[in-house]
Structure 1
C-alpha cells in the first residue's frame, strides 16, 4: 500500500497543476472516502487521505483526518511529522518547527522530516538551523537534489556565513552534478564577493563550454569584470557578445530575445568610461 501511495503521489507531482493531476487526486480521495465509510477508524486510510488533502491544498480537511489519526494512535511519533507538514502548509512556521523538532528527536534519520524542518526553519528565519537540516538531508539521501544545495547556500548567506563556507557546500553539489547554471551562477557571485575574479571567470567558462550559444556568457563575463573594476576587459567581453549575436542566422538575430540582449549590451557599453582617444 505504501509503495502504491508513493508512486501515485509521484505521478501527481509530475503532472503539476494540470487538470489531469486534479482528477487523479479527486479519484483517489473518492476511493479512500468510500473505503472509510466502511472502515471509519482505519488510521492508515485516514493518514493517506489526509496526505492527499494536503497535497491538494485542502488543509482543513487534512487536519480533520490527521487529528483523528492522532487520537487513534496517540503514541505514533509520525503524528508530529504529519501535523508539522500541515502547519508548514498553512505557514504556521513556529508550530511547524515545534512539531518537526519533536519528530526528529525520535527519527533523526527521516529524510522527509529533515527536508520539512529545513523549509520550516528557513521560513521562520532560523537560518543557521536551516543550514544544519539541509546538510543532514543531503547526507541522508543517495541522490540529493541540486536545489537542496542551493537552498543550503541561500540559508548560509542569510546566516552570515563566509563566501568560502558557502562555496564549499555549493562545490559539493557541482562535484556531483557538474556545473549546473543554478549552482554555478551563485558560486560566481560568491567568487566576486571574495575578490576571486579569475575563479569567477573560470566558472563562467565551464558554463559556456556546455552552451551552444555563447553571447550571454560573454555578457556575464563582462559583468564580473565591471564589478572587479576592470572596464577595458569588460568592454572586450561586451564587444565579443555583440559579435556573437551578429554571427547568428538572420532569424535568430532578429528575434525578440536577441534584440533585448543587444539593447542590454549597448546599455552596458554606454555605461563604461569612454575609450581614451589616441594622442595626436
Structure 2
C-alpha cells in the first residue's frame, strides 16, 4: 500500500498536479524517510509550486540519503537552481553547493558551466575566469575555454585580454592537424574566435578619437 502512495505521487507530479502530489509523497517518506528517489520527487514538487527554499532543503536531504554510490549531478544542479530562484541573497549558497558537487563528482562540466553562468550573471568576472581556467587545466583541447575566456573578458570590458584569448584560441586551432581543422565543430570554434576579434576591432573603431 505504501509503495502505491509513492507511485501515485509521482503520477500526479508528472501530470503537473504538484500540489496534489505533496501529500502522497510525504506519506511515503513518513515510512521511508531516506528514500532518495521520493525525496527528489518531493523536491521537484516544491520547486513547481514556487517553494524554492523547501525544494533546496529537499535536495539537500536527497543528497544526504545517498550512502552508497555517487549522487546524480542533477541533484546538485536542481538544488542550485532552487536557491537562485529563491533570490540573490542565496547565490553564495548556490555556488557553494555546486562546488560541493564538483568535489564529490570529480568536476563534471555541467556543474562547472552553471557555476560560471551564475558568476557572470552577478558580475563576478574574476571568479568566472578562475572557473574557466580550472576546466581548461583539465582539458587536452583548450580552444573552447579560450573562447569562453575571451567572451567573459569582453563582458568585463577588458578588450586587450579578450583579444589575447581569442587569438590564443585561433593559434591553438591552427596548430591542429589539417583533418581536424576541417571538422565542423572546430570550424564553429574558429568562427566564434574570429567573430570575437572582429567585435573588438569594431568597438575600438567606434570609440571617440579613433582613426577612421
Indicate the TM-score class for this superposition, using the shorter chain for normalisation: 0.7 to 0.9
Q: Structure 2: which 5+ residue stretches go unaligned? A: none
Q: Choose which of 173, 176, 192 in structure 1 pairs with 2:104.
A: 176
1:202 — aligned with what?
130
1:126 shift after superposition: 2.6
SS at match of 1:212: coil
Q: Deviations over 1:222-260 (max 9, x none)?
A: 111112121221111011111111111101111111222
Which residue matches 1:120?
A: 45
Query: Which whole-Å CA distance do the structure 1 matches of 2:158 and 2:22 have between them?
Result: 47
Structure 1 segment 75-94 matched on structure 2, within 5 A: 76-94=1-19
User: After the TM superposition, which parts of structure 1 deviate over 4 Å for at least 4 consecutive aligned residues?
Assistant: 275-279
Question: How has the CA–CA distance of structure 1 residues 278 and 159 changed in structure 2, closer, same or farther, with 3 Å as cutoff?
Answer: closer
State yes or no: 1:224 paired with 2:152: yes
Partner residue in 2 for 1:264: 192
In the comparison of the two structures, how many residue pairs are matched? 204
8 Å contact kept, 1:149–1:173: yes
Distance in 2, matches of 1:186 and 1:151, equals 11
1:153 equivalent to 2:83? Answer no
Please, which moves more after superposition, 241-250 or 87-96? 87-96
Determine the structure 2 residue equivalent to 1:164. 92
The residue number in structure 1 matching 2:140 is: 212
Q: Which whole-Å CA distance do the structure 2 matches of 1:267 and 1:247 have between them?
A: 19
Q: How does 1:1-280 map to 2 (within 5 A)?
A: 76-142=1-67, 143-161=70-88, 162-272=90-200, 273-274=203-204
Q: 2:73·2:105 contact (CA, 8 Å) conserved in 1?
A: yes
Structure 1, unmatched stretches of 5+, are: 1-75
TM-score where L is the length of structure 1 = 0.66
1:190, distance to aligned residue in structure 2 (A): 2.3
2:59–2:78: 8 Å Cα contact kept in structure 1?
A: yes
Aligned match of 1:14: none
Is contact 2:56-2:79 (8 Å) kept? yes
RMSD of aligned alpha carbons: 2.3
Structure 2: distance between partners of 1:185 and 1:218:
14
Provide the C-alpha distance between the structure 1 equivalents of 2:181 and 2:166, rounded to a whole number of angstroms.
16
Normalising by structure 2, what TM-score?
A: 0.86
Distance 2:129 2:33 in 1: 40
Larger Rg: 1
